[in-house]
Amino acid sequence: MIVEGIDYNRTVETNKLVYKGQTFEKVTSYIIMLIPISMTLVLSYFIFKTQIENNPTKTDYFIAIFIPLLIMTLVGLFCFSIINRDKLKEFEIKESKSKAVEKILEAAKNLNWKSQVIAEHYLVFETKFEFVKDRQTVTLIIFPDNRIYFNSLNFLNDYLKPSRFDENYQELKTEYLKIENK
């Protein structure tokens, strides 16, 4: 998991969050994507085949093409979100790295985020929501070019619920800018 450590160099190279223990998660992600893709192909085949049997009309052809395309599009969007969940979002800082870290820690404290890891190149915070099991890990990576690169993953149930990535990003950015402009 992220708490075990981030591979900073590979993260910088790929502009994606790379951490220890990620191989298991990647394999799991591919298996989770393979299941709906295969089910979609089989379902689409049977919908198409049954719709165009026995003297089909234009409506039958429309249904035979439209419904499978709709299902495939939805599964494609699901797979796209899984593939892109490790991408980093960024915002610029106007101060030195050490001052930025202090202000991020203050902003996280104001947002009631619990710090998990404070390392040289990155910070990891945990945010909690309604339920005990519904917790989210927020990772910040500060690169040398005066930018903060941000990622937010939802553990334990990363595949079942969205990660609230944009909400956390906007909250942190707003709080950080408030503190920076004081």
Taking the CB of residue 172, how many other CB atoms lie within 10 A of it? 24
What is d(CA 163, CA 165) in angstroms, rounded to the nearest whole number? 5
| CA proximity to 154, closest of 175, 133, 182, 176 | 133
Please tell me the CATH superfamily of domain 88-180, with its number. Kinase associated domain 1, KA1 (3.30.310.80)
What is d(CA 143, CA 155) in angstroms, rounded to the nearest whole number? 25
**pTM score above 0.75:** no
Return the pLDDT at 130. Answer: 58
Taking the CB of residue 115, how many other CB atoms lie within 10 A of it? 14
User: Minimum mean pLDDT among 51-60, 92-101, 106-115, 128-137: which range?
Assistant: 128-137
- 17 near 86, Cβ under 8 Å? yes
pLDDT digits (tens, 9 = 90+) for 43-57: 999 999 998 888 889
Q: Which residues contact 159 (CB under 8 A, 6 or more apart)?
A: 29, 32, 82
